């Protein structure tokens, strides 16, 4: 078995993370993107078989709640230990094909964050070369996603830009215009925003609040405790490298310290890019 340095560090951090969990439980929001079998490793894609193992593990040992319920519980002051939320970004079609049947099998709810330009099939996420036409779910397919009990849909901008690099007006347009697109398509949503590429500064958080969203999720790692800022909710990225052993360490927060260190560097890059615009 190949054991990476990050896994060794996680095992070292694990007892402290467990102890912190016992003392003060929080809600962990998992971040997925794609669930598919791709020919090459992609950080944003988890294979269908591993995804099924991860969901089976969650169903047996964790309390998985819808995103909107998490907000209620964060505000109510009652957080139950081992509470988890499942989210997917970008609205990939493979979520419908490979993730939804598994969520149904284990009766687990999840939220998908939709970029409205993708759902309208006007554009696609630029990450993938030669993508199929249906890389993303269209509005009718998103309705199929919503039909599963507890599944929700949130907003992920109109065109998936780096928001902090945009002039004020354009940034507002991406954030509030996204809600207009939902209304025009006759689609319901949970009123929660997801910052594209995790790019957020105080300005974007303010615009999201002013547009009427009730909360927003970031890619800041870690768990959400009572009194967490609703417009800066933390998430934990799950990748195809997270076999059940690594998945369990992540759920216990053993990777949080390492991920926070990496994230601080990333935030500095965003701040420099926003400053240079
Ligand atoms: Zn995205």
pLDDT of residue 98: 98
The residues near 266 (Cβ < 8 Å, ≥ 6 apart) are 198
Residue-wise pLDDT tens digits, 146-177: 999 999 999 999 999 999 999 999 999 999 99
pLDDT of residue 209: 98
The rounded Å distance from CA 154 to ligand 1 centre is 12
Find the largest Cα–Cα distance for the chain.
52
Cβ pair 64, 107 in contact under 8 A: no
Categorize the per-residue pLDDT at 21 as very low, low, confident or very high, splitting at 50, 70 and 90.
confident
The rounded Å distance from CA 11 to ligand 1 centre is 30
The rounded Å distance from CA 223 to ligand 1 centre is 20
End-to-end CA distance of the chain: 46
The percentage of the chain sitting over the pLDDT mark of 70, rounded to a whole number, equals: 97
24 pLDDT exceeds 90? no
Instruction: Please state at what angle helix 168-184 crosses helix 202-210, rounded to 10 degrees.
Output: 40
The rounded Å distance from CA 10 to ligand 1 centre is 27
The rounded Å distance from CA 196 to ligand 1 centre is 5
- Alpha helices (H) in the chain, listed in sequence order: 5-23, 48-61, 67-76, 93-94, 100-105, 116-119, 139-146, 168-184, 202-210, 244-251, 256-275
The rounded Å distance from CA 69 to ligand 1 centre is 22
30 pLDDT exceeds 90? yes
260 pLDDT exceeds 80? no
Q: What share of the chain is helix, strand, coil (3-state, %, to 5)?
A: 45, 15, 40
Q: For the chain, what is the mean pLDDT?
A: 92
| Average confidence (pLDDT) over 107-115 | 98
CATH of 26-275 given 3.30.420.10, 3.20.20.370, 3.30.70.20, 3.20.20.70: 3.20.20.370
The rounded Å distance from CA 24 to ligand 1 centre is 30
Categorize the per-residue pLDDT at 215 as very low, low, confident or very high, splitting at 50, 70 and 90.
very high
The rounded Å distance from CA 250 to ligand 1 centre is 21
| Average confidence (pLDDT) over 100-104 | 98
Closest CA to 212 of 231, 226, 198, 225: 231
pLDDT of residue 255: 83
CA dihedral 73, 75, 79, 83 (to 10 degrees): 50
Cβ pair 213, 174 in contact under 8 A: no
pLDDT of residue 275: 66
The rounded Å distance from CA 2 to ligand 1 centre is 31
The rounded Å distance from CA 128 to ligand 1 centre is 13
pLDDT of residue 31: 98
| Average confidence (pLDDT) over 37-49 | 93
pLDDT of residue 277: 60
- Alpha helices (H) in 77-201, listed in sequence order: 93-94, 100-105, 116-119, 139-146, 168-184
pLDDT of residue 261: 74
Distance CA 235, CA 232 (A): 10
The rounded Å distance from CA 231 to ligand 1 centre is 17
Q: Where are the domains of the chain?
A: 26-275
Residue-wise pLDDT tens digits, 180-208: 999 999 999 999 999 999 999 999 999 99
265 pLDDT exceeds 80? no
The rounded Å distance from CA 160 to ligand 1 centre is 6
pLDDT of residue 95: 98
| Average confidence (pLDDT) over 107-125 | 97
Reading the block at residue 134, the tokens are 């249906």
The rounded Å distance from CA 26 to ligand 1 centre is 24
The rounded Å distance from CA 237 to ligand 1 centre is 12
The rounded Å distance from CA 187 to ligand 1 centre is 19
Is the pTM higher than 0.85?
yes
Distance CA 185, CA 137 (A): 14
Q: Look at the block and give the residue holding tokens 């949080």.
A: 256
Reading the block at residue 256, the tokens are 């949080």
Categorize the per-residue pLDDT at 3 as very low, low, confident or very high, splitting at 50, 70 and 90.
low
The rounded Å distance from CA 121 to ligand 1 centre is 15
The rounded Å distance from CA 114 to ligand 1 centre is 8
1 pLDDT exceeds 60? no
């Amino acid at each position: 078995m190949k054991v990476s340095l990050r896994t060794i560090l996680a095992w070292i951090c694990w007892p402290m993370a467990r102890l912190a969990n016992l003392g003060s439980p929080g809600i962990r929001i998992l971040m997925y993107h794609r669930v598919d079998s791709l020919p090459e490793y992609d950080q944003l894609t988890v294979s269908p078989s591993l995804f099924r193992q991860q969901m089976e593990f969650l169903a047996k040992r964790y309390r998985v709640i819808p995103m909107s319920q998490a907000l209620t519980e964060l505000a109510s002051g009652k957080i139950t230990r081992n509470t988890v939320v499942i989210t997917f970004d970008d609205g990939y079609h493979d979520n419908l094909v490979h993730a939804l049947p598994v969520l149904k099998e284990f009766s687990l709810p999840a939220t998908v964050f939709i970029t409205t330009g993708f759902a309208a099939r006007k554009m696609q996420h630029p990450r993938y070369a030669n993508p199929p036409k249906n890389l993303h779910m269209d509005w009718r397919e998103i309705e199929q996603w919503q039909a599963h009990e507890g599944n929700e849909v949130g907003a992920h901008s109109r065109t998936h830009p780096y928001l902090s690099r945009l002039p004020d007006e354009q940034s507002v347009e991406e954030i509030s215009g996204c809600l207009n697109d939902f209304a025009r398509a006759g689609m319901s949503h949970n009123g929660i925003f997801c910052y594209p590429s995790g790019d957020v500064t105080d300005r974007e958080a303010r615009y999201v609040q002013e547009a009427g969203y009730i909360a927003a999720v970031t890619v800041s790692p870690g768990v959400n405790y009572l009194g967490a800022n609703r417009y800066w909710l933390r998430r934990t990225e799950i990748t195809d490298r997270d076999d059940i052993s690594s998945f369990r360490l992540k759920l216990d927060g053993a990777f949080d310290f390492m991920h926070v260190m990496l994230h601080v560097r990333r935030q500095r890059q965003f701040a420099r890019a926003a400053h240079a615009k």
